[in-house]
Structure 1
Amino acid sequence: MSLPSITFTGFVYRAHHPRWAYDPESGLGASRHGGRFNRPGTAALYTALRMETAWLEAQQGFPFKAQPMTMCGYEVHCDGVVDLTSNAAIDALGIDPGDLACPWEDMADRGETPPTWQLADRLIAGGAAGVIIPSFADHAGPYDRNLVFWKWGKDAPYKVCVVDDHGRLPKDDRSWK
């Protein structure tokens, strides 16, 4: 089955723990712990289509007690992105929209496999580089969307590069030792 994919060109954003500011393109945290759209051991880079959404995602559960974050923008030109905010794509793939909002962490903690992990496995096996999904963060609205990458690098067709024109990000983690 051919995936209903698009080429995403533009900018995305990520607010992450300052501890990892020296490596904002790694996706290692998601690989270690898993996420809504990746099981542990599967690398993923979670980003948002708006800065406000990136902030909501990073402050999960604490929207009014802001914690320090490093906000990064990324320039993207990525083929193979599946837009699961599109009813046509959801229908073409036979996805139950309710599965996207599953309580993935609770399921994983109980030893169950969340349907979003199964979906991610299927899309990755089909050649998808990433997926656009609604944000499920507290206080997220209809314009809050995320783009999760499973394939990314410095060059097209999977270009996802942090914007740091002035070299402001640290080069290593020595300040955290």
Structure 2
Amino acid sequence: MRFTGQVFRAHNPRWSFTPLSGEGAALHGGRFNPVGTPALYTSLRMETAWLEAQQGFPFKPQPLTICAYDVDSEPVLDLTAPSSLDDLGISPAALVCPWEDLADQGKTPPSWKLAKTLMANGTNGIIVPSFAPGATENDRNLVFWNWSDNPLSRVTVIDDERRLPTTAASWP
């Protein structure tokens, strides 16, 4: 499918000068990207971006920079409907797997295998449920493996007033 619309992302303000980078995800890995693979994790609602950034940590919420993005990208697969998963032969367990625990044990999480297969097939991104603590069925994410400011994979940050810093020099 083609996804056209807005998505949101909550950043540590320290990295707000690079809102389109997937390097943090590449460095640490994520549910849908192995270490070394850049990914841009976004949410379909601003509230979901907040949940994702806080991840239910037991400490006080820390400052965040929330950015909105204009998106026009295809192909994007919607993996939130059981029928979509069935059509693709994907188990819901692959999405919800304890990816961090598996990776820490030296095992390849099923969600990484899924991501590698979809990337190899030319999929630019996937819509998935949010697994953040407190998430409801309305909380969904759009994870990109391929994005740019070019057609077919266009993801651009909305910053018409140039409020975001442009370099790391903004920070001590």
What does residue 110 of structure 1 align with? 105
Taking the aligned partners of 2:89 and 2:135, their CA distance within structure 1 comes to 25
Tell me the secondary structure at the aligned position of residue 66 of structure 2: strand
Taking the aligned partners of 2:75 and 2:84, their CA distance within structure 1 comes to 13
Change (3 A) 1:164 1:63: farther
Whether the 8 Å contact between 1:56 and 1:63 is mirrored in structure 2 is no
Taking the aligned partners of 1:51 and 1:161, their CA distance within structure 2 comes to 16
Identity across the alignment (%): 59
Q: Deviations over 1:128-149 (max 9, x none)?
A: 0000000000000000000000
Instruction: List runs of 5+ in structure 2 lacking aligned partners.
Output: none
Q: CA RMSD in A?
A: 1.1
Taking the aligned partners of 1:12 and 1:40, their CA distance within structure 2 comes to 24
Give 1:63 shift: 7.0
- For these two proteins, the number of residue pairs brought into alignment is 172
Taking the aligned partners of 1:176 and 1:89, their CA distance within structure 2 comes to 44
Taking the aligned partners of 2:152 and 2:170, their CA distance within structure 1 comes to 34
TM-score, normalisation: structure 1: 0.94
* Equivalent residue letter for 2:152: P
Give 1:61 shift: 2.5
TM-score, normalisation: structure 2: 0.97
Structure 1: 4+ residue segments shifted above 4 A: none
Taking the aligned partners of 1:122 and 1:8, their CA distance within structure 2 comes to 20
Taking the aligned partners of 2:171 and 2:104, their CA distance within structure 1 comes to 30
**Corresponding residue to 2:168 among 157, 169, 173:** 173
Taking the aligned partners of 2:163 and 2:137, their CA distance within structure 1 comes to 33
